[in-house]
Amino acid sequence: MVYAAILGYGTVGSGVAAVLEENKEMIAQKAGTQISVKYILDLREFPGDPNADKVVHDFEVILKDKDISVVCETMGGTEPAYTFSKKALLAGKSVCTSNKELVAAHGPELLRLARENNCNYLFEASVGGGIPIIRPMNYSLTAEKIDGIMGILNGTTNYILTKMEQEGADFESVLKEAQEKGYAEKNPEADIEGYDACRKIAILSSLMLSKTIHYEDIYTEGITGITAADFCYAKAMSRTIKLLAVSRLTEAGCHVMVAPFLIPDIHPLRGVGGVFNAVFVHSNMLGDSMYYGQGAGKLPTASAVVSDIVDCARHLGKTVMCLWDEEDVKPAPYGDIERRFFVRADREKLCEERARELFGEIETIRPAERLTDYGFVTPPIREADFEAAAGRTAGILSRIRLED
């Protein structure tokens, strides 16, 4: 029998208890042992809940109980999650977490503490919700040098963009609807400004490099500037707009960015709609591989946490491999990346002739709809050169990067 404690009985924490109960027998088979929740740490009481009798309010109870070998940290935020995780690891108790903020901020330190104390710090649920991605990177792509990662890593923004495309609706109205349906939070900033995707690509990039990329260093752009008009042009280009988190290893270093991109209709990420997430990995022997599924939600996220508990149960007293050192790496300057840009412009202020002078041989895009503005695609151009040219004119209504 392996005894676990759950820290935080919110959406994910209660999901962990539910998944462990629902699939109990099968999980025991796969773990090679029964897994039982002994404690649930929360400030609240849960009268009537089947796990009400397991609720404790003092973390020390869990810490001092030698029965507990696995702690599920499903609290979110950095404190007290950070302190509790450290204490658990120092006591030789493995920690499984869904907490991307904490992993992005302190992952390599907590991994080191796990190694030093013969236990594990596992965080499958911190990226891509229920999609197996951390474990495939660590356990499956072991014969591969990974040199590129590109993902749709945030379900809220993907839901909004999918709806905008399908309904021709504007950002604000779709956001409002998503909030009413519970797909977007009341304070949606972390999602729509790309901060959530940024933390996730920081984690994946760090695993790719086996070193630490700090999320604060990653250029991040959200989707608040995307309009219904942009989608008309996208359609005319046989493309759609997705918020991508991109990380590429080049000779110049690791280019990392979160931003909306126009991707072609034939792109494998094109079919990733609604709240689904997907991670595209490029490596030197296999080439492209992709991992797709529900990137958020109570049960999918809890399922990933439970898969980590099973992994801990299979490896009691042994640290499983996760190469992620505390050594810092700065992302390479993104200004050097060369790519094409789509520009939507006000013809009165930026005529095609002037656009050609600024950006080179542009290609005009003609959507089916009659729009007051016009759109064009630049030839491949360095990000920095594009920004410099764009700074020399008025009339640019929006600009979106192209991914091929």
Peptide bond into 264 cis (omega under 30): no
Out of 43, 48, 266, 370, point to the residue binding a copy of itself (CB under 8 A). Answer: 266
Report the distance separating Cα 132 and Cα 267, nearest Å: 21
Instruction: Tell me which of 54, 87, 100, 200 is the catalytic residue.
Output: 200
DSSP 281: E
Cβ(15)–Cβ(302) under 8 Å?
Answer: yes
Report helix, strand or coil for 169: coil
By CB under 8 A, residue 368 contacts a copy of itself: no
The count of other CB atoms within 10 Å of the CB of residue 404 is 11
Helix H or strand E encompassing 88 = helix 81-90
Among the listed residues 306, 312, 328, the one whose alpha carbon sits nearest the alpha carbon of residue 210: 328
| 144 lies in the binding site for a copy of itself (CB under 8 A) | yes
- Any residues with CB less than 8 A from the CB of 180 and at least 6 apart, and which? none
Alpha-carbon gap, residue 195 to 221, rounded angstroms: 8
Tokens of 314: 């299979």
Q: Which stretch binds a copy of itself (CB under 8 A): 56-64, 134-142, 180-188, 226-234?
A: 134-142
Question: Token digits for 14?
Answer: 């209660």
Structure tokens at 52: 């009400």
Q: Which is nearer to a copy of itself, 12 or 355 (CB)?
A: 12
43, 142, 372, 391: which one binds a copy of itself (CB under 8 A): 142
> Could you say which of 135, 211, 235, 354 contacts a copy of itself (CB under 8 A)?
135
Min CB(210)–a copy of itself separation in Å? 8
Q: Is 130 in the site for a copy of itself (CB under 8 A)?
A: yes
- Please name which of 76, 136, 96, 160 lies closest in space to residue 279, comparing C-alpha atoms: 136
Of 158 and 294, which CB lies nearer to a copy of itself in the complex structure? 294
187-226 residues in contact with a copy of itself (CB under 8 A) are 210
Q: Which of residues 26-65 bind a copy of itself (CB under 8 A)?
A: 26-27, 29-32
Query: Which 276-315 positions form the footprint of a copy of itself (CB under 8 A)?
Result: 276, 278, 283-294, 299-300, 302-304, 306-307, 309-311, 314
Q: Give the angle subtended at the CA of 114 by the CAs of 42 and 135, to the nearest 5°.
A: 90
**Candidates 25-33, 85-93, 114-122, 177-185; binding stretch for a copy of itself (CB under 8 A):** 25-33
Q: Is 24 a catalytic residue?
A: no
In the complex, what is the shortest distance from the CB of residue 312 to a copy of itself, in angstroms, rounded to a whole number? 11
- CA 24 to mean position of chain CA atoms: 29
CA distances from 357 to 60, 70, 164, 313, 341 (A): 68, 63, 33, 64, 15
**Nearer to a copy of itself among residue 140 and residue 250 (C-beta):** 140
Cα(295)–Cα(278) distance, integer angstroms: 8
Q: Is 22 in the site for a copy of itself (CB under 8 A)?
A: yes
Among 60-68, 133-141, 220-228, 246-254, which window interacts with a copy of itself (CB under 8 A)? 133-141
The CB density around residue 270, as the number of other CB atoms within 10 Å, is: 14
Q: How far is the CB of 238 from a copy of itself (least distance, A)?
A: 12
Contact 182, 238 (CB under 8 A): no
Strand bridging mode 212-213 / 276-283: unpaired
Q: At what angle do helices 100-116 and 195-209 cross, to 10 degrees?
A: 30
Q: Which residues ranging from 75 to 104 are in contact with a copy of itself (CB under 8 A)? A: none
Work out how close the CB of 187 gets to a copy of itself at its nearest, in angstroms, rounded to a whole number.
27
Residue 334 Cβ, how far from a copy of itself at the closest point, in Å? Answer: 26
Quick one: 230 or 308, whose CB is closer to a copy of itself?
308
Query: Mind giving me the DSSP string for 116-141?
Result: HTT--EE-GGGSSTTS--HHIIIIIG
Question: In the set 323, 351, 371, 384, which binds a copy of itself (CB under 8 A)?
Answer: 323
72 binds a copy of itself (CB under 8 A): no
- Binder to a copy of itself among 21, 52, 58, 145 (CB under 8 A)? 145
Residues 6+ apart with CB under 8 A from 274: 155, 158, 159, 162
Residue 119 binds a copy of itself, judged by CB under 8 A: no
Query: Cβ closer to a copy of itself: 276 or 341?
Result: 276
Task: Report the nearest approach of a copy of itself to the CB of residue 276 (Å).
Answer: 8
148 binds a copy of itself (CB under 8 A): no
Please list the active-site residues. 200
- List residues near a copy of itself by CB under 8 A: 19-20, 22-23, 26-27, 29-32, 124, 130-132, 135-136, 139-145, 210, 266-268, 270-273, 276, 278, 283-294, 299-300, 302-304, 306-307, 309-311, 314, 321, 323
